[in-house]
Amino acid sequence: MEKRTVSPEFGDCLKRNKIREFSQGKNLVDKELLAARTDLSEAKDTFQRDKFKWAIIQAYYSMFHSARALLYNQNYRERSHHCLIVALKSFYVEKGKLSVRFLEGLQKAKTLRENADYYDQWSQLGAKEMVALAGEFLNKAESIL
């Protein structure tokens, strides 16, 4: 593995074992992309049936699996949503391969999913935005990989 300088945030995630090397990562990229595609397809179908709460949840998981595929491609795995974002920033955003907009969208999707799951709060607009972003994120992840 190449020697590289890591950000303090990434270093902290490594130290706390919230991100760690994972030699089997590359072997799981296709599985994660399939999960992302499946969740996105279900989010679109659910949205069309006006089930906006579930569309948000499915769109979030599509984005999560797209993000995880990118991380696995670096032979790392996450133990925290925050550190997943930190790692993607380090591996892809800082190298100009991925727009920070996708990381911000993943964080927003997590918040909307939690609001839908825990507080029974969601909107058609939030669902529409997350389903669209999940599709863009998956397309970008596939083009990178």
pLDDT, tens digit, for every residue of 32-74? Answer: 999 999 999 999 999 999 999 999 999 999 999 999 999 999 9
Question: How does the average pLDDT of the chain come out, rounded?
Answer: 95
Q: Which CATH superfamily is domain 8-144 in?
A: Nucleotidyltransferases  domain 2 (1.20.120.330)
- DSSP character at residue 21: E
What's the pTM value of the predicted model, to 2 decimals?
A: 0.94
Q: Which residue is listed with tokens 């709060």?
A: 121
Buried b (16+ CB within 10 A) or exposed e, 114-126: ebbeeeeebeeeb
Q: CA 97 to CA 111: how far, in whole Å?
A: 25
Q: CA 50 to CA 29: how far, in whole Å?
A: 31
Per-residue pLDDT at 3? 47
Per-residue pLDDT at 35? 98
State the Cα angle at 141 between 137 and 143, rounded to 5°. 120
Q: CA 76 to CA 116: how far, in whole Å?
A: 30
DSSP codes joined into one string, 66-101: HHHHHHHHTTEEES-HHHHHHHHIIIIITTTSS-HH
Give the bridge partners for 21, in sequence order. 76
pLDDT > 50? residue 1: no
Work out the pLDDT band at 127, boundaries 50, 70, 90: very high
Per-residue pLDDT at 124? 97
Per-residue pLDDT at 73? 98
| Helix or strand holding residue 43 (H, E) | helix 29-48
Q: Where are the domains of the chain?
A: 8-144
Per-residue pLDDT at 2? 47
Per-residue pLDDT at 7? 87
